[in-house]
Structure 1
Amino acid sequence: MIRINQVKLPLDHSEDELKNAVLNTLSITEEQLVDIHVFKRGYDARKKNQIFLIYTLDITLQDVNEEQLLGNFEDNHNIRVSPDTEYKYVATAPADLSERPIVIGMGPCGLFVALILAQMGFKPIVLERGKSVHERAKDTFRFWRTSELNTESNVQFGEGGAGTFSDGKLYSQVKDPGFLGLKVKTEFVAAGAPAEIIYVSKPHIGTYKLVTMVSQMRSKIIELGGDIRFETRVDEINIEDGQVTGVTLNGGEVINSKHVVAAIGHSARDTFQMLHDKGVHMEAQSFSIGFRVEHKQEMIDQARFGKNAGHPLLGAADYKLVHHCKNGRSVYSFCMCPGGVVVAATSEEHAVVTNGMSQYSRSERNANSAIVVGISPEDFNNDPLQGIALQRQLERNAYVMGGSNYDAPAQMVGDFLAAGKGKPFENVEPSYKPNVKMTDLSDALPDFAIEAIREALPAFAKKIRGFDSKDAMLTGVETRTSSPVQIKRGPDFQSINTKGLYPGGEGAGYAGGILSAGIDGIKIAEAVALDMLKNA
């Protein structure tokens, strides 16, 4: 097959226009063209009233010498042989498997570690402190309705991980020469995701579809010989002479294994503490803090797409913004959720944390995004646990500011920019549940962060008209953009000072979203399998 990149066509082009573009690009006849496969489809909306679709196409030909054809285009980097994107397993477990790998956590990373190991025959044991995804969803929605928090079953903890209650974005900026991201998306489609996630440039799934998909993938792992245990917290990772020997569970049970994957998520603060106390090497890493901002989705659509707003191929508009401030800080948008809601995402009592969530339809009235300020390890003396302490301090302060009942502190952008008092909301109704308390957000973050966000919002309005409109809504606080620690590992994916411990995913500091966490999970599964065969 031949791959053509950067095929540019009008938004409302016909199938014939796509076919003719291929024929003209390759200088072939219609009889020589067998099939056009869309590998990727994105859009160019830099001119909002003249939007183009951008394709990457795999072309099947007949009666054509492909080597000679490619020779005619050797100076054109957009025409090449289609790469082999099929996933290939690196190992097969022996029939007399004497040891079973342990996977701690069943977020996207742990899920794919377990799935790939199971597909290779290694029968993993998965330990998840939270509940199964359907039971977890009940606990989470109950908290949003009644403020009754289950600290082990919520937005952060449980089958599917934090990404289950998000927009379900499946795109990433990580380098992926092995097309592992395609393996992730292919498994999602097999579990019930829309087929379009394979080829659209910014695929997403949404919470309700993710719930169903995760349970389907769990069934596949079990069918292939894996064991999955919910409501099972790992209290100790057992280490002897720098080698992992197994884990001790919250009930005192010990499971022995020399291959333990720590896919613990960015909110497993007690597990970070335990690993730190055990001497597992970890370092502080950058994260961000800020607020959720909400606008009317129709305003964002008009600002981004102009007369094309509402087009079915474009859907609800998103954005990505960054501003470098005079005080040396950077402010940027994060986890933008078109047509979504702001959700309560705490996992600890007496704390308020926000996050964003969308369904597949992205049909809610508001757009929301985190507007956050970068925090570097130097801000907390490079102590790997002080970042957690800062997060916890801000979350507990937000709890008090919201009324000490899990309501979130909120303020209209106009009042925030004017350093005014919190007045009742106007045009943009806050979506956070249980509720919000309108107040002054000046004390919700450190002074440098407040200063930076006040500078950034008007700057963002130069890119998206109305972004700093007075009735846009800010809700606090957003603190869990990423893990504040990184559990250092070597090229073999094992901890640099604890053999047999495989840190992975967002919590360990090696991913930032569902897709990159899934890719990391595949890499870890391969490393575990190869090491187990080597030591068999």
Structure 2
Amino acid sequence: MLRVPEIKLSLAQNERQLPEILSRTLGIRTDEIREWSIYKKSIDARKKDMISFVYSVDFQVDNEDKMLKRLSKKGVIKAESISFKYTPIAEKDSIRPVIVGTGPSGIFAGMVLAELGYNPILLERGKRVDDRVRDVEKFWETGILNTESNVQFGEGGAGTFSDGKLTTLIKDPRCRKVLEYFVEAGAPEDILYVNKPHIGTDILRRVVSNLRERIISLGGEVRFQAKVTDLIIRDGAVAGVVINGADELETDKVVLALGHSARDTFEMLYHSGIGIQQKAFSIGVRIEHPQEMISRSQYGELYTHPRLGAADYKLSGHFDNGRSAYTFCMCPGGTVVAAASEEGMTVTNGMSERARDRVNANAALLVNVTPEDFGSDHPLAGVEFQRCWERSAYEASGGSYKAPAQLVGDFLVDRTSKAFEGIEPSYKPGVVMTDLRKCLPPYVTETMKMAIIEFDKRLKGFARPDAVMTGVETRSSSPVRITRDEELQTNIKGLYPAGEGAGYAGGIISAAVDGIRVAEKIGNWKGGK
């Protein structure tokens, strides 16, 4: 296949016209194009009155080398791809590897190990996704928290209650393999090529269930409500795990595919002598605006065009106090959700369904924090830092799982909010209007103020006085890194940290890729050519 970038279509043009436009652009006949497919698709909205879609298109022709030489001056390149085909290997250990956690890193480590013929055992402390959804919805409606089945814990990990974003900054070719796995499990095919792919939390739940069934069909096993409470270590190597404080499971390979909220597991690992380091992360709030305002700001008067959908944004800045702030996990047409996993603490996150058709848009507005802010050199000091501000948020909202909230206009002048004005908060089980300075460090609120004013210059309306800020968001990434060597193992042989909770990823795709890399290492897989 050959690939041509920068093929533009107006909003009025249809993708079925791509071969004709390709023919005109390259100066070749349409009958010379034997096959074609979209490789990438993005929106160019720099000129609000001339919004267009930009495509990279793969196409097949006869005499490919000759055609490539002829068209190279027009930007045409050979569409090289790396194949990640995992087939059962001839020789492998008889002891089955164990994967702790079924978030993205655990699921995809399990998928690859299953395809390699290792028959992995996946242990998940929470429940299967359908049961988990019921527990989460009960929490949102009643404030009754299940500490083992919530937005953080359960099949699919924290990403199951999110926008299902599949964007990443990493360039690993395995990213494409992850997307292909998702499509095979029922995700929309457009995630293979759109610039900012997302599945949506509603569809992602079904996809996660299908991925589990695929692992089982290949000889793997998935156990729910199976919390790993200890490691069995002999002579500097892992020999097994203890489940729910009682049952022992023998293994010589354990993938620690932990979520970023597995705080009790971090403590167990620390007391077991596993190397753990502090890691920088970010904290802040969720900020909500009308989705209509965001779409109009990004797309101008064409914002209602059905082909454009709900607009998103991504903003960042570095400020005079030495701190940086940025928006994170922006959820167009979504909701702010209660994401606590421990009693007496309030945590927020954002979520969108595939349609992204809710009234509000929300994003995390975060400020960086570093180990110097934690007040201790203990490896788990970042965890305690998170707990401190989550507890403060719980107390600021009256000792319930309602969340503290403040209007942007009040926040900028240090005034306690009394009621919302026009923009209704989407957070369940509800909000308590207050002063967010009660539940965030002063340097965080100071930086957020500067960021709001600066971001308003780039996104008109970002600082509108009635925008709602809901706190606190503390789980942007893991507060620890479980150290590993070039063989991806800890100081204990056979113990493989992977994914976001272990400190090696930041989102669904990068966590999945890291899980795949660990599985390849365990299987001594030499493919990828």
TM-score under structure 2 length normalisation:
0.96
Alignment partners' CA distance in 1, 2:123 and 2:7: 46
Q: Measured at CA, do residues 17 and 215 of structure 1 come closer, stay the same or move farther in structure 2, by a change above 3 Å?
A: closer
User: Could you tell me which residue of structure 1 aligns to residue 66 of structure 2?
Assistant: 68
Farther-moved stretch of structure 1 (513-522 vs 401-410): 513-522
Aligned residue identity for 1:114: G
User: Could you tell me which residue of structure 2 aligns to residue 394 of structure 1?
Assistant: 389
Q: CA deviation at 1:389?
A: 0.5
User: Could you tell me which residue of structure 1 aligns to residue 79 of structure 2?
Assistant: 82
Alignment partners' CA distance in 2, 1:382 and 1:9: 55
Alignment partners' CA distance in 1, 2:285 and 2:92: 53
The question of whether the paired residues in 2 share the 8 Å contact of 1:105 and 1:126 is answered with: yes
The question of whether the paired residues in 2 share the 8 Å contact of 1:285 and 1:485 is answered with: yes
Q: CA deviation at 1:251?
A: 3.9
The question of whether the paired residues in 2 share the 8 Å contact of 1:283 and 1:382 is answered with: no
| Match status 1:99 vs 2:103 | no
Q: CA deviation at 1:30?
A: 2.1
Note the 1:174-323 alignment, pairs <5 A: 174-176=170-172, 178=173, 180-323=174-317
CA offsets 1:192-220 (integer angstroms, 9 cap, x no match): 21121111111111112111111111111
Q: CA deviation at 1:307?
A: 1.6
CA offsets 1:429-475 (integer angstroms, 9 cap, x no match): 00000010001112211110010001110111101111101100000
CA offsets 1:109-138 (integer angstroms, 9 cap, x no match): 101111111122110011100001100110
Q: CA deviation at 1:254?
A: 1.1
Farther-moved stretch of structure 1 (127-136 vs 39-48): 39-48
| Match status 1:34 vs 2:34 | yes
Q: CA deviation at 1:22?
A: 1.7
Alignment partners' CA distance in 2, 1:378 and 1:393: 16
User: Could you tell me which residue of structure 1 aligns to residue 441 of structure 2?
Assistant: 446
Aligned residue identity for 1:148: I
Aligned residue identity for 1:418: V
Farther-moved stretch of structure 1 (281-290 vs 258-267): 281-290
Q: CA deviation at 1:96?
A: 7.6
User: Could you tell me which residue of structure 2 aligns to residue 140 of structure 1?
Assistant: 136
Note the 1:370-389 alignment, pairs <5 A: 370-380=364-374, 381-389=376-384
Note the 1:358-377 alignment, pairs <5 A: 358-377=352-371
SS in 1 for 2:523: helix
User: Could you tell me which residue of structure 2 aligns to residue 57 of structure 1?
Assistant: 57
Q: CA deviation at 1:518?
A: 1.2
User: Could you tell me which residue of structure 1 aligns to residue 5 of structure 2?
Assistant: 5
Aligned residue identity for 1:190: E
The question of whether the paired residues in 1 share the 8 Å contact of 2:141 and 2:429 is answered with: yes
Aligned residue identity for 1:31: D
Aligned residue identity for 1:119: E
Alignment partners' CA distance in 1, 2:362 and 2:521: 38
CA offsets 1:361-391 (integer angstroms, 9 cap, x no match): 1011000000000011222255431111110
| Match status 1:436 vs 2:452 | no
SS in 1 for 2:524: helix
Alignment partners' CA distance in 1, 2:155 and 2:17: 45
The question of whether the paired residues in 2 share the 8 Å contact of 1:377 and 1:383 is answered with: no
Q: CA deviation at 1:85?
A: 4.5
CA offsets 1:396-430 (integer angstroms, 9 cap, x no match): 01001011111100011000001112120011000
Q: CA deviation at 1:48?
A: 2.6
Q: CA deviation at 1:280?
A: 1.2
Farther-moved stretch of structure 1 (240-249 vs 360-369): 240-249
Q: CA deviation at 1:256?
A: 1.3
SS in 1 for 2:395: helix
Aligned residue identity for 2:202: Y
SS in 1 for 2:211: helix
User: Could you tell me which residue of structure 2 aligns to residue 348 of structure 1?
Assistant: 342
* Identical pairs, percent: 50
Aligned residue identity for 2:50: Q
Aligned residue identity for 1:172: T
Q: CA deviation at 1:142?
A: 0.2
1:112 to 104, 108, 112: 108
> Where in structure 1 are there 5+ consecutive unaligned residues?
none
The question of whether the paired residues in 1 share the 8 Å contact of 2:92 and 2:118 is answered with: no
SS in 2 for 1:462: helix
Q: CA deviation at 1:49?
A: 2.6
User: Could you tell me which residue of structure 2 aligns to residue 530 of structure 1?
Assistant: 524
| Match status 1:151 vs 2:147 | yes
> Where in structure 2 are there 5+ consecutive unaligned residues?
none
Alignment partners' CA distance in 1, 2:294 and 2:8: 24
User: Could you tell me which residue of structure 1 aligns to residue 486 of structure 2?
Assistant: 491
Aligned residue identity for 2:515: G
TM-score under structure 1 length normalisation:
0.95
